[in-house]
A and B are shown apart, each in its own frame.
With several copies, the nearest count.
Chain A
């Protein structure tokens, strides 16, 4: 951060930017890692670290999608079932229709984009609150996934190489000591791309501006509706990527899965320091938030903590993480 000493009297301490919070969340992550490493020798094994990363990949991608929407001041409850819907679309394209792999991938991303366009339009044009529009969309997609798939999983056995999308390791092929699964690399790629869009493109700039003061953006002559729809469409496309990821990991499109995933995604976003009231947030924070969730889950399992307590701990950490963020802002 650049020099922030304003000429006007800044009596209450030096200003610290979002960097500190990212550090806070980051130090939370470090703290968890340290605790778990000390508690179990198995925790820091390469394989377990890779397992944690792989476990982060799907939720991480969904959380990146949710980040975009939340920065505009909206919310997207449909990310989980949209992911499933896209997976099913891929299944239809590859297995039912027998088309080549790239078309399946494209199909999932297009399907996600199309659904995002619809949600965005309902929100921007019909002025239905995001909570309701995406809640309704969540249910619609859940039903449609079952309808389209005929309520049974669609397997990708006829598409050799499909499982390699998430489970293979291009990195491992080059550096055998570092077999990072492709799924993880895809998460990083999506995150990098989203971070680039947020910080370097007009879409990103409007995403922040909408969350900061939508009316001011409108009165600046900007076509607010169009950009809002674009944000939901982008988030939808990212959910399409998540759909491919989960389908590849499970070698199947599981039509019944997905509901409930939205809460994990939103939790990752919020733990990562993105404000639910919009206008601020970072993809890096979201990644850290998603990692905190997976590290917690993995660590508590490695320590064989009873499952019922895992939930309690997770709930508590979510509240504490947000409270820490609030405290920080108040004391600044």
Chain B
């Protein structure tokens, strides 16, 4: 087997979620004996920076590319270029609206957020006020998770009201301040959904600083969030399988290079975890630090 060079262009870099994807990719790379690079812009709004990264990756002439599109339309020309050059593309995290990628290793964010809504409803007794603290007003994951949560509540739980959706850029501190304002403005609030890791931690922080009893449901894992779920500060959280996403992406890329058939979608799944099931082997495997 050859030492393939695979470039992964993700949506982010410093965030723990992306570092977990990177870890999965590195793991697959080690197992399969290929080289992997991993890059992503600072924030999920920097669509053009991601294009520059993709272009630079193309110039490097990798054997395959893994790509998590911030905006799939924007990327189409470059993907076309890669396709013309015969470089297989594997989409990951969220789908690329194009038939160029051979497969997509992804989480259904809308469904995942809807699950969070169901759990929230269950925990607050299907009535009362809830709020959402999300990371980004314009990015795909931000939109999907907010929509998934809010729409599910509206459809299925007429007695629950989403009083506000606020955005803290995934910055823990800013999300903390936002949460405190929300709690103080709505003393009768029953629950808050934090739509990514930074938001979720911020929400839990805010709850703790105010000594509030509000139900917090988070998203993603990471050491801090796991600790909060363990201690009960956070009722539970949705986790995707970022390590699996990274792993499957690289594996699919190698398979494609070896001329194997690929399924259209590799659903890496999502799970709800709380203090009771965190140590189940199935769940523990998808949680990351």
Contact = CB atoms under 8 A, between A and B. Distances in A.
A and B touch in the complex (CB under 8 A): yes
Given A58-B173, A153-B222, A251-B73, A298 B45 contact: no
A21 interface: no
B82 to A, nearest CB: 11
A167 B181 contact: no
Contact of B55 (A54, A153, A251): A54
Given A51-B177, A249-B205, A255 B14 contact: yes
B173 A250 contact: yes
B185 A257 contact: no
A157 B40 CA distance: 26
Interface centre among A58, A254, A297 (most CB of B within 10 A): A254
Given A47-B210, A151-B137, A302-B184, A254 B51 contact: no
B123 to A, nearest CB: 24
A45 interface: yes
A249 B73 contact: no
Interface string A57-80: 010000000000000000000000
A301 interface: yes
Contacts of A255: 14, 138
A80 to B, nearest CB: 11
B74 A257 contact: no
Nearest to B140: A153
A167 B77 contact: yes
A45 B47 contact: no
Interface in A238-277: 246, 249-252, 254-257, 259-260
B48 A246 contact: yes
A79 to B, nearest CB: 14
A51 B55 CA distance: 6
B151 interface: no
A250 B172 contact: yes
A155 B182 contact: no
Interface in A138-181: 146, 151-153, 155, 157, 163, 167, 181
Given A249-B205, A256-B14, A256-B15, A40 B185 contact: yes
Interface residues of A, number: 39
A163 B185 contact: no
B135 to A, nearest CB: 11
Given A42-B184, A45-B184, A298-B56, A251 B76 contact: yes
Nearest to B143: A152
Contacts of B40: 307
Given A55-B177, A255-B138, A307-B167, A301 B48 contact: no
A48 interface: yes
A304 interface: yes
A182 to B, nearest CB: 12
B47 to A, nearest CB: 5
A167 B187 CA distance: 21
Interface residues of B, number: 59
A151 B45 CA distance: 12
Interface stretch (B58-66, B240-248, B261-269): B58-66
B216 interface: no
B57 interface: yes
Interface string A293-318: 01001100111100110000000000
Given A152-B143, A254-B45, A42 B13 contact: no
A246 B205 CA distance: 12
Contacts of A47: 58-59, 184, 210
B156 interface: no
B58 A153 contact: no
Contacts of A51: 52, 55-56, 58-59, 177, 180-181, 184, 209-210
B209 A167 contact: yes
Nearest to B12: A256
Interface string A36-50: 000010110101100
A256 B73 CA distance: 16
A158 B58 CA distance: 29
Interface string B187-210: 100000000000001000100111
Contacts of B201: 250
B154 interface: no
A153 B224 contact: yes
Given A58-B48, A301-B182, A302-B56, A252 B209 contact: no
B46 interface: yes
A257 B77 contact: no
12 contacts: A42-B60, A48-B181, A51-B181, A54-B55, A155-B223, A249-B74, A250-B48, A257-B46, A298-B177, A301-B53, A302-B184, A303-B185
Instruction: Pick the 4 closest A-B CB pairs, nearest first.
Output: A256-B14, A48-B59, A256-B45, A301-B181
